[in-house]
Copies of this chain bind each other. A is one copy, B any other.
Amino acid sequence: MNIKEKIREDINSKKDEYIQFLQKIIQQPSTSGNELEAQTIVADRLRDLGLDVDVWTPDAEELKKSEFFNPRREDYEGSPNVVGTLKGKQNGKSLILNGHIDVVPAGDESKWINEPYSGTVIDGKLYGRGTTDMKGGNMSTLIALETIINLGIELKGDVIYESVIEEETGGAGTLAAIQRGYKADVALIPEPSEMKIFPKQQGSLWFEVTVEGVSAHGGTRYEGVNAIEKGWVVFQEIMNLEEQRNEPLREHPLYKNNPIPIPINIGQFNGGYFPSAVPEEAIIQGRYGIAPGETIEEAKEQFQSMLDNLKSLDNWFEKHPATVKWGGIHLPPGGCEDDHPMLEILQNNYLEVEKEEAVMAGSTWATDGGLLTQAGGIPSIVFGPGTTSMAHFTDEYVELEKMFKTAEITALSIIEWCEINE
């Protein structure tokens, strides 16, 4: 039996145990601030595998020193990061397996067919908050690592398994791991790409634009200036900016099948406080997609110059400029070079296991890959088993067969990248 067959057989023989372990992890509702139990279970498992395990609480003061930090909490007590390292036997190429343990809230629990943290398996799908985003993905990389260890394979390079906190709320966990010194030659992130390979991941910023009006009584509304009408001018210009920013990506090989590669989504528009008064303020909030290769600063400057230009369309904005605040999600874009050798490794192993060509694409959402790439200088590739559309949704699930196939492809790719120490 060759190594490929051994890997497949080992995974196949342990599926039930892996499913049980994933259920145990899903049953921990590890929303932001509540990651301790899930992280303790992960750390214990990594220790049992014989890895060097590092468990620490990210330090808000240290994080604040990074320009990439987006403060969402005063401290991270009760929310440890966990990193397990499988040391390579020689100075081979190293690899990070990065995944976040935090999950978004379950929303209206009564809408779930099963309880949100049940881990119920039906027809090959394991249900629960975080299954697709991204505990099922984390499980696939853990299985890959365990299989290599189970089979007694020694690697030349290090494999660093990161179970981080706070991706959903801005990336403090991954940033803390970078600051702690965890670096590698490439990072794999098993976010829900539906087993597509994403060599590029867009970034994402949240914006809040304030538009002024002048209040007046509704019965004499002509004495005021309706901030909603001025807000609509801004809305349209934001949409024009989206058009302009997407133009260069239309022919991009990874994005050409995507109608809007880096969308600007206006998700909230709130103006006025009383039916019978002229609104004196409108607030426009949204999500600003950042192109791979673009810096956050460049993207912000483009947005600001769109706002500065409003006065040429409507001289109201001359004395009442629309202003922007950046807050909430604040993730840079990530990725690797187009010819990064890990891409070919993943593609070949995908073909080996799935008997068809892998789909290469660019992500429509931001991941911790942006921090790994921009703050850590680590090329990042997203490749995971989850179903994109189920992320953050009711009745979220992961397809177990995709999880095991991802594990197999990942195991093969790790040994190719880090190389076997014969």
**Which of A's residues lie within 8 Å of B, judged by CB?**
202, 204, 206-208, 217-222, 226, 228-229, 231-232, 235, 259-260, 263, 265-279, 282, 285-287, 289, 328-329, 363-365, 389, 391-392
Contacting residues, chain B, for A217 (C-beta < 8 A): 364-365, 389, 391-392
B267 and A269 form a contact (CB under 8 A): no
Q: Are A221 and B263 CB-contacts (below 8 A) given A268-B273, A271-B268, A275-B328?
A: yes
Q: How far, in whole Å, are A28 and B176 apart by their CA atoms in the complex?
A: 60
Query: Which chain B residue shows the least CB distance to A329?
Result: B276
Q: How far, in whole Å, are A278 and B285 apart by their CA atoms in the complex?
A: 11
Q: Are A267 and B232 CB-contacts (below 8 A) given A206-B275, A275-B328, A285-B275?
A: no
Q: How far, in whole Å, are A226 and B267 apart by their CA atoms in the complex?
A: 8
Q: Are A277 and B267 CB-contacts (below 8 A) given A219-B365, A222-B259?
A: yes
The residue that A269 contacts in the complex, of B272, B277, B329, B364, with Cβ under 8 A, is B272
B263 and A219 form a contact (CB under 8 A): yes
A267 and B275 form a contact (CB under 8 A): yes
Query: Which chain B residue shows the least CB distance to A207?
Result: B275
The residue that A286 contacts in the complex, of B218, B220, B265, B328, with Cβ under 8 A, is B218
Q: How far is the CB of A160 from chain B (nearest CB, A)?
A: 28
Enumerate 22 A-B pairs (CB-CB under 8 Å) in ascending A order: A204-B218, A204-B219, A208-B275, A217-B364, A217-B392, A218-B287, A219-B364, A220-B263, A221-B260, A228-B235, A228-B266, A265-B278, A266-B279, A267-B272, A267-B273, A267-B277, A268-B271, A269-B269, A269-B271, A275-B285, A275-B286, A276-B286
Contacting residues, chain B, for A285 (C-beta < 8 A): 272, 275
Q: How far, in whole Å, are A364 and B223 apart by their CA atoms in the complex?
A: 12
Q: How far, in whole Å, are A266 and B271 apart by their CA atoms in the complex?
A: 10
Q: How far, in whole Å, are A78 and B412 apart by their CA atoms in the complex?
A: 80
Q: How far is the CB of A30 from chain B (nearest CB, A)?
A: 21
Q: Are A219 and B202 CB-contacts (below 8 A) given A228-B235, A275-B268, A287-B275?
A: yes
The residue that A232 contacts in the complex, of B235, B278, B279, with Cβ under 8 A, is B235
B269 and A279 form a contact (CB under 8 A): yes
Inter-chain pairs besides A266-B272, A268-B271, A275-B285, 16 sampled, C-beta below 8 Å: A206-B276, A217-B392, A219-B363, A228-B235, A228-B269, A232-B235, A267-B276, A268-B274, A268-B279, A269-B270, A269-B272, A272-B285, A275-B286, A275-B328, A276-B286, A276-B329
Q: How far is the CB of A374 from chain B (nearest CB, A)?
A: 19
Q: Are A289 and B328 CB-contacts (below 8 A) given A235-B228, A276-B267, A282-B269?
A: no
Contacting residues, chain B, for A270 (C-beta < 8 A): 269-271
Q: How far, in whole Å, are A316 and B250 apart by their CA atoms in the complex?
A: 28
The residue that A277 contacts in the complex, of B265, B271, B275, with Cβ under 8 A, is B265
Q: How far, in whole Å, are A232 and B233 apart by their CA atoms in the complex?
A: 11
A221 and B265 form a contact (CB under 8 A): yes
Contacting residues, chain B, for A273 (C-beta < 8 A): 267-268
Contacting residues, chain B, for A271 (C-beta < 8 A): 268-270
Query: Which chain B residue shows the least CB distance to A289?
Result: B219
The residue that A276 contacts in the complex, of B218, B235, B275, B287, with Cβ under 8 A, is B287
A204 and B267 form a contact (CB under 8 A): no
A272 and B268 form a contact (CB under 8 A): yes
Q: How far, in whole Å, are A224 and B202 apart by their CA atoms in the complex?
A: 20
Q: How far, in whole Å, are A279 and B263 apart by their CA atoms in the complex?
A: 14
A218 and B263 form a contact (CB under 8 A): yes
Q: How far is the CB of A126 from chain B (nearest CB, A)?
A: 22
Q: How far is the CB of A259 from chain B (nearest CB, A)?
A: 4
Query: Which chain B residue shows the least CB distance to A286?
Result: B275
Contacting residues, chain B, for A263 (C-beta < 8 A): 218-222
Q: How far is the CB of A229 from chain B (nearest CB, A)?
A: 8
